Structure 1
Amino acid sequence: MAELKGIGVSPGGAGAPAYKVAPPPRLPTTQPAALDPDVEAKRAIAALASVTEELSRRADAATGPAAEILRAEAMMAEDPELADAAAQAARDGMSAAHAIDAALAVHRAAFEEAGGYLAERVADLDDIRNRAVAICLGLPMPGIPSPGQPFVLIARDLAPADTAQLDPAEVVALVTEDGGPTSHTAILARTLGIPAVVRCTGVLGVEDGTVVIVDGTGGVVRLAPTAAEVEAAREAEAARQERLRSTSGPGSTADGHQVALYANIGGAKDLLGDVEGVGLFRTELLYLDRTDAPSFDDQVAAYTEVFAALPGRKVVVRTLDAGADKPLPFLSQSDEPNPALGVRGLRISWRRPDVLETQLKAIAAAAKAASAEVWVMAPMVATPQEAATFVAACRAAGLPTAGAMVEIPAAALRAGALLAEVDFLSIGTNDLSQYTFASDRQVGELAELLDPWQPALLELIAMCASAGKAAGKPVGVCGEAAADPALAVVLTGLGITSLSMAARSIPAVREALAARTLEECQRLAHAALTAETAEAARAAAR
């Protein structure tokens, strides 16, 4: 049986016919004659407004990272400068469709030139363009096919709006030719529990309707299997799912070493099943779709809903992580040559201390009325001095437990000094990997560098864990690396005390830990840490 190799980013297996994402609409090669410029300008503006409305509607129906990504894209479609540019192009003689294409081409070029996080959003701009042009031309909306049966979805890469609307009952697996292990596609696939393989060269050559078997754990796509092979793959996946459903209780190794398994959420509706707690409560969703800051009362209500759903359990709240790919209009953030290295996360409080102060007071008010154990952590902490300032602000607001995220190599290198100031550390492996290897998360060509099995990344994690052990303070991982069952075993062996991930990923990680003693985890961690490459580290651990 022929097969294609890629990077497995969401575990599990599935066998079904494969279908590709519908192509974007093609512009007519010539402009229509006798256009009314004012009419075309109004049509262009109306099309962009329609796209904004649709993206906002999908954001309201989505949860977790999907909702966050869709709201950010809706804000881009709603940008007045984009509408003005499209309208002007129409008044200059273009059709509405051509005007939208021209306006977004300018924005696209600017984003690519800026690099960093703005370059990551080019796919969002392309999606806005395709949807608005389709509306103007009266063509079917590009995106997910509907073959009328469960299928494997194939794409070059997926726009956030497409990934967010995937129905796991219809799309049984996902394969892309581009993308990487920390891309939005990978994160959302894990959130939905869909087996996924990215960076799979040649998959776009697979004809629609061809039956394939997708191994999201090993990163393999098998082409044209026999009916018996497909049935065997389906039975193996059904058995795996049944086995995972039978797992329950706190995370621990075979010899009883406790490793807390928490969920990453964006709000109360992301809580699936009976989780030990929340290791990452992303508060950005409350801010992203607004032109002004949420009020104190609005924030208290949102935090209270989450805390009330987890009585007696831990909830780690990350303060506002905005900037770069998540710009907020009310902050009036100026253009930066490299937003990924600019004023984002905790650094926003340098300019707007009132935003952090209000948020901390709202978290404290909500915590006071609930029995949940509320911890707070700041994103993008680089120095012990920044950590100390944040802890002081938390104490002043009445929040007793304050920590820092480790997303910058400087923070990992000085983990011991950070722990002298904070109560805990939480490692965000996606950004830590990006900054360690100077590799944009959305550039598929750099996927190998962003592999969370890279020994250099593991070494930084080990440094943090060792510092935590010396200080007697917890050090967790809240990046999506925690969702890889084999890597979770390695992280435990390195000394990580908690793992936080999409709720759907917890059962597989719980099962993997329960199959190993702590000594075995430590032995596998040593093997991965001393490997020369990510591939060798993965092979040594498995």
Structure 2
Amino acid sequence: MSQIRGVGIGQGVAQGPIARMTPPLAAPIDEPATAGVEEETARVREAMGVVARDLEERGERAGGTARDVLEAQAMMAEDPALESEVDSRLAAGKNAEWAVFDAFASFRDQLTALGGYLGERAADLDDVAQRIIARLRGVSAPGIPDPGHPFVLVAEDLAPADTALLDLDKVLALVTTQGGPTSHTAILAREKSIVAIVGATTADRLRDGETVIVDAAAGLVISEPSADDLDQARRRADDRLRTASAPLTPGALADGTPVPLLANLGNPDATNAVALGAEGVGLFRTEFLFLGNQSAPTITQQRESYERLLGAFPGKKVVVRVLDAGADKPLAFLNDAHEENPALGLRGLRALRASEDILREQLTALAEADAAVRAAGEAADLWVMAPMVSTTEETEYFVTIAREYGIRTAGVMVEVPSSALLADRILAHADFASIGTNDLTQYTLAADRLLGSVAGFQDPWHPAVLRLVREVGDAGRRTGKPVGICGEAAADPLLAVVLVGLGATSLSMAPTALADVRASLATHTLDDARRIAEAALAADDAASARDAAMSAAIPRERQLP
């Protein structure tokens, strides 16, 4: 048995034979065109149009997040700036295939150099270029293999167009050698509940037909597994299926201690979250209203979305985060000035203070939406929080301005070490705190959370991160204020127990993770959670903390090697 480590997406486990992705098309040769410029240009335009329409049709069939991703790719296929770059090469006498290849490669290199979220989009450009070149050559674009039986798909990375329409009756799991936790493969795997591991850099040594175990919870691909390993993995998979079909109940520990389980949402469509048992919303990301626009949405436009969200959760808590722009989410009307290190620049509440009219309009829309649903008898319990708060003064500023608009419950996100260390002073002013473990881990470990090359450092199990969570939890107990978790850490069933042991009073996550976390909490008392948390805190690194917590919580015979 040997192990390949990567970044696990979700908590599933699967097993099956390997099938490798069809390799990319060979790069075109830089040689003169045999046809005239007009003819080559017409060929390229036709190919770009066909690829764009195909991507749009795939998006319509896939729906959800996949539709948004594929529509963005379709726009890439007909981007005027890329067309101009292709045209300049055609005008120089280059052939159509090479002109497309070189122009897209130039843009890809620019995105890669930017890193972060934009760097993750470089793979999308590669996929679009491959599809256009395949059309020009009259061949099929590289895609998903079909070995005639269920399989574990191994690829360098997976294009959104392929991920969106995976046949889940055949694809047992995904393993990619590239990509990070925010790549489109990871995003769509979470949405579809596909067992996946990304960034498994040595997975290219796996052979077609070789049987492996893909353990997303541990971030491991296990090759040459024993019969006992396969049997344990099968039992774990069966347990997860039973957990997913269990009756929906409120989140609680084994001793009855309530731990509300909330949903992280990026748009007002709460249908799936409600169906999976979300007890409210712990993080509503309002960026979807702003991203891609040249101006801020109107108060009316915002209010309509907020009303829809609040109406889906009558009587339940709905936590809305005001606009979190900056770093990987620049906006032309807010903060598009170049910054050498945007993750440490004008982002979150800092950006909103610099353009306070946008903050005031958002608070106006939220207050009006709250009033409207209350008048209709569908009142949710609206909480509003500010992102990227780093000082007590910023907390006072946000709470004061929120009160001006009648926001009854105003809080802050704890995403940087300074706010965690000052949590008692911050909670003296704020009504609640919500810990964003993704950014808290990034800033504590000095590792860009959007960069695959340092994904190994982006681990919320690190004792340094857990200590900061404990600081906030202790401050919440002393002040009598709620402390929620709304980062990816809350979706890890065992880490969820640890977070409760550190003082978290609610957990918010992707809806697909709710069942696993609900089941995990139900097997431990509050005393258990505190004991398991102490075991993790005593470790020296993330891997040791995870192992220590597992040893304290789970009988060793139930663990995979």
Find the counterpart in structure 2 of residue 316 from structure 1: 319
Per the normalisation by structure 1, the TM-score is 0.89
Find the counterpart in structure 2 of residue 110 from structure 1: 110
CA RMSD of aligned residues (A): 3.1
Find the counterpart in structure 1 of residue 483 from structure 2: 475
Find the counterpart in structure 2 of residue 439 from structure 1: 447
Aligned residue for 1:516, secondary structure, equals: coil
Distance 1:390 1:69, change over 3 A: farther
> In the alignment, is the contact (CA less than 8 A) between 1:287 and 1:294 conserved in 2?
yes
> In the alignment, is the contact (CA less than 8 A) between 2:28 and 2:97 conserved in 1?
no
Aligned residue for 1:448, secondary structure, equals: helix
Return the match for 2:363 from 333, 346, 360: 360
What is the aligned length? 542
Find the counterpart in structure 1 of residue 386 from structure 2: 378
> In the alignment, is the contact (CA less than 8 A) between 1:41 and 1:88 conserved in 2?
no
Find the counterpart in structure 1 of residue 243 from structure 2: 243
Deviations 1:18-70 (A, max 9, x none): 22233333232243533333444455456556655555666666677656655
> In the alignment, is the contact (CA less than 8 A) between 2:290 and 2:297 conserved in 1?
yes
> In the alignment, is the contact (CA less than 8 A) between 1:108 and 1:122 conserved in 2?
yes
Please list, as runs of the form range in 1=range in 2, the aligned pairs for 1:72-221 lying within 5 A after superposition: 79-147=79-147, 149-180=149-180, 185-221=185-221
* Correspondence 1:388 to 2:404: no
> In the alignment, is the contact (CA less than 8 A) between 1:31 and 1:95 conserved in 2?
yes
> In the alignment, is the contact (CA less than 8 A) between 1:262 and 1:278 conserved in 2?
yes
Find the counterpart in structure 1 of residue 291 from structure 2: 288
Aligned residue for 1:327, secondary structure, equals: coil
Find the counterpart in structure 1 of residue 533 from structure 2: 525
* Correspondence 1:451 to 2:459: yes
User: Residues of 2 paired with 1:349 and 1:492: CA distance?
Assistant: 32
Aligned residue for 1:369, secondary structure, equals: helix
Deviation at 1:13, TM superposition (A): 1.9
Please list, as runs of the form range in 1=range in 2, the aligned pairs for 1:262-341 lying within 5 A after superposition: 262-267=262-267, 268=269, 269-271=271-273, 272-329=275-332, 331=334, 333-341=336-344
Deviation at 1:493, TM superposition (A): 0.6
Which residue identity is paired with 1:157?
D
Deviation at 1:528, TM superposition (A): 0.7
Greater alpha carbon shift after TM alignment, 460-469 vs 512-521: 460-469
User: Residues of 1 paired with 2:52 and 2:446: CA distance?
Assistant: 33
Deviation at 1:103, TM superposition (A): 2.4
> In the alignment, is the contact (CA less than 8 A) between 1:121 and 1:325 conserved in 2?
no
Aligned residue for 1:284, secondary structure, equals: helix
Deviation at 1:404, TM superposition (A): 1.6
Find the counterpart in structure 1 of residue 555 from structure 2: none
Deviation at 1:438, TM superposition (A): 1.9
> In the alignment, is the contact (CA less than 8 A) between 2:199 and 2:452 conserved in 1?
yes
User: Residues of 2 paired with 1:264 and 1:217: CA distance?
Assistant: 20
> In the alignment, is the contact (CA less than 8 A) between 1:10 and 1:186 conserved in 2?
no
Distance 1:426 1:17, change over 3 A: same
Distance 1:92 1:364, change over 3 A: farther
Which residue identity is paired with 1:286?
L
Distance 1:136 1:373, change over 3 A: farther
Greater alpha carbon shift after TM alignment, 100-109 vs 139-148: 139-148
Return the match for 1:418 from 417, 426, 431: 426
Aligned residue for 1:29, secondary structure, equals: coil
Deviations 1:439-469 (A, max 9, x none): 1234434232112211111112111212222
Distance 1:438 1:360, change over 3 A: same
User: Residues of 2 paired with 1:444 and 1:221: CA distance?
Assistant: 18
User: Residues of 1 paired with 2:194 and 2:255: CA distance?
Assistant: 31
Please list, as runs of the form range in 1=range in 2, the aligned pairs for 1:16-55 lying within 5 A after superposition: 16-31=16-31, 33-41=33-41, 43-44=43-44, 47=47
> In the alignment, is the contact (CA less than 8 A) between 2:335 and 2:351 conserved in 1?
no
User: Residues of 2 paired with 1:254 and 1:348: CA distance?
Assistant: 43
Deviation at 1:162, TM superposition (A): 4.2
User: Residues of 1 paired with 2:537 and 2:297: CA distance?
Assistant: 44
Deviations 1:202-240 (A, max 9, x none): 322223343333222233334366899767744542343
Deviation at 1:414, TM superposition (A): 2.3
> In the alignment, is the contact (CA less than 8 A) between 2:33 and 2:95 conserved in 1?
no
Which residue identity is paired with 1:520?
D
Q: Name the % identity.
A: 49
User: Residues of 1 paired with 2:193 and 2:521: CA distance?
Assistant: 19
User: Residues of 2 paired with 1:360 and 1:164: CA distance?
Assistant: 35
Per the normalisation by structure 2, the TM-score is 0.86
User: Residues of 1 paired with 2:75 and 2:405: CA distance?
Assistant: 32
Deviation at 1:136, TM superposition (A): 3.6
Deviations 1:511-533 (A, max 9, x none): 11111111111111111112011
User: Residues of 1 paired with 2:17 and 2:296: CA distance?
Assistant: 47
Deviation at 1:335, TM superposition (A): 3.1
Distance 1:63 1:527, change over 3 A: farther
Greater alpha carbon shift after TM alignment, 224-233 vs 186-195: 224-233
User: Residues of 2 paired with 1:143 and 1:538: CA distance?
Assistant: 37
User: Residues of 1 paired with 2:47 and 2:358: CA distance?
Assistant: 34
Find the counterpart in structure 2 of residue 255 from structure 1: 255
* Correspondence 1:491 to 2:499: yes
User: Residues of 2 paired with 1:492 and 1:424: CA distance?
Assistant: 16
Aligned residue for 2:456, secondary structure, equals: coil
Deviations 1:54-96 (A, max 9, x none): 5566666667765665566566666543332232222222233
Deviation at 1:405, TM superposition (A): 1.6
> In the alignment, is the contact (CA less than 8 A) between 1:116 and 1:440 conserved in 2?
yes
User: Residues of 1 paired with 2:319 and 2:61: CA distance?
Assistant: 24
> In the alignment, is the contact (CA less than 8 A) between 1:64 and 1:266 conserved in 2?
no
Deviation at 1:500, TM superposition (A): 0.8
Unaligned runs of 5+ in 2: 374-378, 551-561
> In the alignment, is the contact (CA less than 8 A) between 1:376 and 1:403 conserved in 2?
yes
Distance 1:380 1:120, change over 3 A: farther
Deviation at 1:3, TM superposition (A): 4.8
Which residue identity is paired with 1:337?
E
Greater alpha carbon shift after TM alignment, 199-208 vs 432-441: 199-208
Distance 1:147 1:85, change over 3 A: same
> In the alignment, is the contact (CA less than 8 A) between 2:134 and 2:141 conserved in 1?
yes
Which residue identity is paired with 1:238?
D
Which residue identity is paired with 1:111?
L
